[in-house]
Amino acid sequence: MPLVVPGITSNSSGDKTEEWTNKLVGKKLADEPSNETIFCKTELPQQTRVIEPGMMVTKDYNPDRLNVHIKEDGTVSHVNHG
């Protein structure tokens, strides 16, 4: 079990990441209203980057940016902040 020391090793965006993980993983992003299998793109935070397989991305770190990783079939595999 990893050592977590608040303010030193904890990730301040962890709660936000967990919240977005619960909302997005397993769903597809679309322009239509959200339902059980689709999440509407307009409901994503302003600073969101959708990352498709094989896509090149910058390595700059932005703790407020939500990175949404998409699988080949278009569903969200995971999310992180950075």
Model's pTM, two decimal places?
Answer: 0.80
* Chunked mean pLDDT (size 10), the chain, 82 residues: 48 78 95 92 95 94 95 95 93
The residues facing 29 across adjacent strands are: 39
Taking Cα atoms as reference points, which of 78, 77, 80 lies closest to residue 62? 80
| pLDDT value at residue 12 | 54
Q: What is the phi-psi region of residue 66: left when phi exceeds 0, alpha when psi lies from -120 to 50, beta otherwise?
A: beta
Distances (CA, A) of 17 to 31, 33, 54, 64, 78: 22, 22, 22, 10, 9
The residues facing 78 across adjacent strands are: 69
| pLDDT value at residue 15 | 87
Question: Which domains, ranges and CATH numbers included, belong to the chain?
Answer: 14-81 (3.30.10.10)
| pLDDT value at residue 9 | 47
| pLDDT value at residue 2 | 52
